[in-house]
């Protein structure tokens, strides 16, 4: 289980000669005349500003993670009735440390599931499955973790991480007008981010497709209730919707600590 937030170079050398020989084309714009670079600039300002984010070296989120409601049948009066068990809310702690370290702990039935990534390798410990040992990430899980944007999200300081952002149009997201941005990561992966035209905060982020029944299903991550924390602005409600599943997964961030002291050992497997 992963939190995806929760909010990452092109072949620049091969373009140098072309850039010197021909004028640089104007960036695309949509209604309002804003380019992708201008939209990102306004987004960064709305999130607290680049200087504030450069001052963030680590961060801890604590809150509740929705485990999903359950539908079941019970016998009543000789007939079967369908009932729904309320969604379980599991306490979680998510720690980030630059450049790309993460540690996720989830409390479940008195046990703690742990998932760590040190920037190159990852491990998970899942006692609720009867496993007390650490299992290494699969190759696909390592690739996915390496492509995640970490603390900043996909837009803040994107160029410094070798990503490229282009304007892909304008769309409605939950009755809000948004700019749709195409983000091409250093490794070539493409993710889309929708930025609210009024607040310039992220409204939605494209997640990594999930395989269900042997087929990939699109994932959409909605970011809501942005609040200032330690000089930067953080979403406090994150809702993940998977194509083909009726119930969304909801994460509520109850507290944020900026720049806590986190030892590097917390992001690797332990005995």
**Residues 146-195: tens digit of each pLDDT:** 888 888 999 999 999 899 999 999 999 999 999 999 999 988 999 999 99
Distance in angstroms (rounded) separating the CA atoms of residues 33 and 181 = 15
pLDDT confidence band for 79 (50 / 70 / 90): low
Distance in angstroms (rounded) separating the CA atoms of residues 186 and 196 = 25
Half-sphere exposure of 221 (CA within 13 A, CB side): 24
Topology at the third CATH level for domain 30-267: outer membrane lipoprotein receptor (LolB), chain A (2.50.20)
Domain ranges of the chain: 30-267
- How far is C-alpha 34 from the geometric centre of its chain's CA atoms? 25
Convert the pLDDT of each residue in 211-261 to its tens digit: 888 888 999 999 999 999 999 999 999 999 999 888 888 999 999 999 999
Find the length of the chain.
Answer: 271
Helix (H) or strand (E) holding 223: strand 219-229
Convert the pLDDT of each residue in 29-62 to its tens digit: 444 589 999 999 999 999 999 999 999 999 999 9
Distance in angstroms (rounded) separating the CA atoms of residues 189 and 201 = 22
Residue 130 has pLDDT above 90, yes or no: no
Convert the pLDDT of each residue in 89-107 to its tens digit: 899 999 999 989 999 999 9
Distance in angstroms (rounded) separating the CA atoms of residues 18 and 24 = 9
């Amino acid at each position: 289980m992963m939190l995806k937030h929760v909010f990452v170079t092109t072949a620049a050398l091969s373009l140098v000669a072309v850039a010197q020989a021909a004028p640089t084309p104007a960036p695309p714009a949509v209604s309002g005349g804003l380019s992708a670079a201008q939209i990102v600039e306004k987004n960064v300002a709305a999130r607290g500003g680049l200087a504030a984010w450069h001052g963030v070296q680590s961060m801890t989120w604590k809150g509740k993670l929705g485990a999903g409601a359950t539908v079941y049948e019970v016998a009543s009066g000789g007939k079967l009735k369908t009932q729904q068990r309320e969604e379980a809310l599991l306490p979680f702690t998510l720690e980030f440390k630059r450049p790309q370290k993460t540690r996720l702990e989830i409390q479940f039935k008195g046990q703690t599931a742990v998932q760590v990534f040190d920037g190159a390798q990852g491990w998970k410990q899942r006692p609720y499955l009867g496993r007390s040992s650490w299992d290494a990430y699969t190759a696909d899980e390592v690739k996915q973790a390496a492509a995640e944007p970490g603390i900043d999200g996909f837009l803040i300081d994107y160029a410094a991480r070798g990503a490229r952002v282009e304007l892909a149009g304008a769309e409605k997201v939950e009755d809000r007008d948004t700019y749709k941005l195409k983000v091409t990561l250093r490794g070539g992966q493409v993710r889309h981010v929708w930025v609210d035209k009024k607040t310039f905060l992220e409204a939605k982020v494209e997640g990594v497709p999930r395989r269900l029944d042997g087929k990939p299903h699109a994932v959409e991550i909605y970011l809501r209730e942005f609040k200032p924390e330690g000089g930067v602005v953080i979403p406090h409600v994150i809702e993940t919707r998977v194509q083909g599943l009726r119930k969304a997964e909801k994460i509520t961030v109850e507290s944020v600590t900026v720049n806590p002291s986190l030892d590097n050992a917390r992001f690797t497997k332990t005995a």
